[in-house]
Every structure is written in C-alpha cells, then in structure tokens.
Structure 1
Amino acid sequence: MKLVSWNVNGIRACVKKGFLDYFKTVDADIFCLQETKLQQDQITLELDGYHQYWNYATKKGYSGTAVFTKSEPLTAKYGIGTNDEEPEGRVITLEYETFYLVNVYTPNAKRDLARLGYRLEWEEELRKYCLELNEVKPVILCGDLNVAHQEIDLKNPKGNKGNSGFTIEERGEMTKLLDAGFVDSFRYLFPERTEAYTWWSYMSKVRERNIGWRIDYFIISAKLASSLIDSQIHADILGSDHCPIMIELEHSFKNISV
C-alpha cells in the first residue's frame, strides 16, 4: 500500500504547476493534502477511482486539508476528538478495517511565536486523540507537522534555535508523541541521512542550494513499523514550497500485520 502526503500551498495554484501529472504518476492508494486554501466548490478534480474528502477552513484562502483514497473508508471524521467544529480545517481522520489514517496540518507558531501557546495546546490534544485511536487499531498520522524534530532535520540548526518550527517546546511535543508508541517512518529507515528536507523558503536559490527543513512526516504506530517497506522524499517535484513525501507498507487496506 502506497501513501503520499503533500502540503500543496494552494491546490488551485499547484494544479496549474503539474499536480495532476504527479498524482497520476505516483498512483498512491491514499493521497493526503494540506494547505489546500479554498472553499467548497472552488475546484473540481476529476480523480477516477478515488473517493474525495475535504475539510475547508472558514477563512477564505487559508489552511484546509483533503484526502483522496482508492478504498472507501468505514468512517470519515473532521477535527480532533469529539470536536467536529474545526474552523481551520486542519484534520481529517479516515477509518479503515485495519488502521486509522489521520491527515494533519499543524498550526504554525508564527515568526514571533505569538501562536506558540495555542500550538502546544493543539499538540497535546492531537497526541491524546492519536493515543485513543491507537488503542482501537494502528494509526498512520501524516502531514505538515511544522517542526524539525532533530538538528539533522534542517540545514542550519544553530542559526534557527528558538525560531518557529525549531523551538524546544515544539520539538519536545514531537518527542512526546514518538515516546508514546509512534515511529517517524523516515528516521526509522534512514536514521542518519542528511540533506533530506521537505520545505524550502521562497527566497532566491534557497531550494536550488537545498537549504531546507524536514517538517512533513509519516508518523506510524510502532506496531506498524515491521510493515514499512520504504519512506521517500520527492524533492524533485515542484509546484509548492513543500515537496511530496511517500511511504509504502507491506500489506493492503484489509491486511496489515501488527
């Protein structure tokens, strides 16, 4: 089973930059989007063979998530826990027979850290939610988690200490999640791989020089780790300031060994 996640930074703009070509070529079983930046009926995507699930932000041109899946889920939920009122459209959970898929666009703490407090509260709620799901069946959490967890995960760790996305607090929340029974799929397979980034600033030639951050993840239940075949970063795919990431698991929607 192949899963892809991509912060498209505006799906309408990304479609004009080759999104559909990549979508068809990669042929994922589940394809997750973050930062779709649109409202209902502002785009129609003809994706033969896929069921589509969208979570729109109330604010126009802001946030939003989507999931395209070949296999129809048992249930679809929007928001975290019992909260179905989610004005920023940041979470979609699809339940399948053998796992939960949680697609997430984590709030940014902002450059001046004005939203760090809200971010940390949100992280705690997300972790509790994933732990509750994990008690029922394994969880695949993916998306733009807006944090570089380790120094290896960004080009300039010394210069960015304390900055949004690399604060002690944000990194600590990721550590808590992993310590609670989850695995960073990329680091599980490639613990020492450097120069592996998923986001680059739009500043001149930053991407060309690979001055980036790894802030997009597939975080999976530890009991799924033995089913993990591959974890890839498709840095050559343009169309957004983020690039797509992909994992492959050994089994299908109805047959995941745990």
Structure 2
Amino acid sequence: MRIITANVNGIRSAAKKGFFAWLASQQADVVCIQETKAQIHQLREEPETFFPAGYHCYYHDAQKKGYSGVALYCRTQPDSIIEGMGSVEFDAEGRYLEARFGNLSVASLYLPSGSSGDERQAAKYRCMQHFETVLENLSTAGRQAIICGDWNIAHKPEDLVNWKANQKYSGFLPDERAWLDKLFVDYGFVDAFRELPQEPNQYTWWSMRTNAWDRNLGWRIDYHVLTPNLHGSVLATNIYRNERFSDHAPVVIDYRYP
C-alpha cells in the first residue's frame, strides 16, 4: 500500500509545476493533499486535472477563499468520508479529511502555523489540544489509522537545520515538541518515516528565502503518523526532491498492508 502526503501550497500552482504528471507515475493508493487554496467549484472547471482518472477525489475547503484546504485521492472507494475534526473553529479552515476503509482510516491533516504572531500561535495550541482528542478516539476505538500531512512542528534537533537558534520560533517551540513527545512516547503513536534508518538532513519544507531549497536548509514538518497497532508496517520511505512543486516536498511511504 503506497500513501503520499503533499502540501502543495496552492493546488493550481502545483499543477502548473508538474505535480499531477508526477503523481500519475506513482501508483499511490491514497494521496493526502494540504493547502489546496481553492474552492471545489473552481477546480471543477478543470476536472481532468483536479479529479484525476482512477481516483475517487474528495475536497474539504476553507470558507475563506485562497486559504488552507485539504484533499484525498483514493484508488479504492472509501466506505465513508469524515469531513472535519469536529471543531467549528478549525473545520471552517478546512484542515482535516478522513477516509475509512473497513478498520483503516487514512487522513489528510493541515495543522495551523503559528509563525505570523501570538494570535495564530494560540490558535495552533487550541487546534493541537482538540486534535489530541481525535487521535485518542481513533486509538481507543481500535482503528488502524495513518494521519498524513503538514503538522507544522519539527520534532527533534535532527528534523531541522540550526535547531539551537530555532527553539524560540513557532514550529520548534518546547511546548510543541513536548506535545509530539506525548503522542509518540506516552500514547505510542508512530512517526512512520523514523521507522526505518534514514540519512541525515532529511527535510520536507524549505523557506522561499535565502536559497534554502538549493542549500537544503529545511525542516521536517510533514509526517505520516500511525496508530500503535500499525507499528512495524513500514516497508519504504522517500522524500521526493527531484522536482519542486511547492515549498514542501511529497513524502511517499509504502506499507505492508493486506
């Protein structure tokens, strides 16, 4: 089973940069997309692009135009789709979309960024607190779940460059990292990418400034997060950097799953 997550920073922009041509070659079972920055009625104007053949396509838009939004492309039709995480505040921003196939859930998640100031950082903490209950519910229900997306947090020093200097910035704040510690250590959720040995300097997001992409001055903030009952299911991982579709790179993970 191959699952891809990609923050496209505008799905129409990514399409022009070759994202869908690349996607067609991947034979992914589920594709989780974040930051579509479009309303579904706008995408229906080009159905052959944004509703690719061979996939059942689902979008959860933000109410605000040109902002946020997530999507799922599923090769097998899901039994059900859950739109939103059950929060009036954050569902209006289009941040969570879940497909259910029997006991397996695959979700596209876009956690808020707090980098624009204290108000958005406070919103990010509210979203984290609420989403923790979503994760608990998935786990206690015994579901197998893969939550893919832009979590907007680098977990450990090896997940970003210049980690000492970045400890005071959103995305690497002590409280944010402690929250991931709680998920991965206390609750037993799994960072799928770290299930296998990795080379150093593996990142998924690069600032558009300071030539960061070419210099590989990045952060790893895009994850596949697994419920504990999927521990040991990862077969292969890849951060795709041969082409650049946005300020994030797609994360491709293959799973041992019947």
Please report the TM-score for the alignment, with normalisation by the length of structure 1.
0.93
Calculate percent identity across the aligned residue pairs: 35
Large movers: runs of 4+ above 2 Å: 81-85, 110-114
The two structures, once aligned, show a CA RMSD in angstroms of: 1.6
Deviates more, 1:25-34 or 1:3-12: 25-34
Tell me the amino acid that sits aligned with residue 237 of structure 2. Answer: S
Contact 1:197 1:235 in 2 (8 A): no
Aligned mates of 1:170, 1:7 — CA distance in 2:
20
Q: 1:235 Cα deviation (Å)?
A: 2.2
**Aligned residues between the structures:** 251
Aligned mates of 1:196, 1:158 — CA distance in 2:
17
1:241 aligns with 2:254: no
Deviates more, 1:52-61 or 1:115-124: 115-124
1:187 aligns with 2:208: no
1:25 aligns with 2:25: yes
Aligned mates of 2:181, 2:111 — CA distance in 1:
15
Aligned mates of 1:211, 1:27 — CA distance in 2:
30
Task: Give structure 1 stretches of 5+ with no counterpart.
Answer: none
Q: 1:103 Cα deviation (Å)?
A: 1.1
Tell me the amino acid that sits aligned with residue 108 of structure 1. Answer: S
Partner of 2:107: 102
Aligned mates of 1:52, 1:111 — CA distance in 2:
31
Aligned mates of 1:208, 1:97 — CA distance in 2:
42
Q: 1:107 Cα deviation (Å)?
A: 0.4
Partner of 1:3: 3
Q: 1:84 Cα deviation (Å)?
A: 10
Q: 1:109 Cα deviation (Å)?
A: 1.0
Of 127, 133, 144, the match for 2:132: 127
Q: 1:29 Cα deviation (Å)?
A: 0.4
* 1:101 match: secondary structure: strand
Deviates more, 1:50-59 or 1:95-104: 95-104
Aligned mates of 1:198, 1:146 — CA distance in 2:
11
Task: Give structure 2 stretches of 5+ with no counterpart.
Answer: none
Please report the TM-score for the alignment, with normalisation by the length of structure 2.
0.93
Partner of 1:172: 178
CA shift in 2, pair 1:133/1:81, >3 Å: farther
* 1:160 match: secondary structure: coil
Aligned mates of 1:222, 1:101 — CA distance in 2:
14
CA shift in 2, pair 1:103/1:46, >3 Å: closer
Q: Deviations over 1:52-85 (max 9, x none)?
A: 1100001010000000000111110111147698
Contact 1:78 1:84 in 2 (8 A): no
* 2:130 match: secondary structure: helix
Tell me the amino acid that sits aligned with residue 52 of structure 1. Answer: C
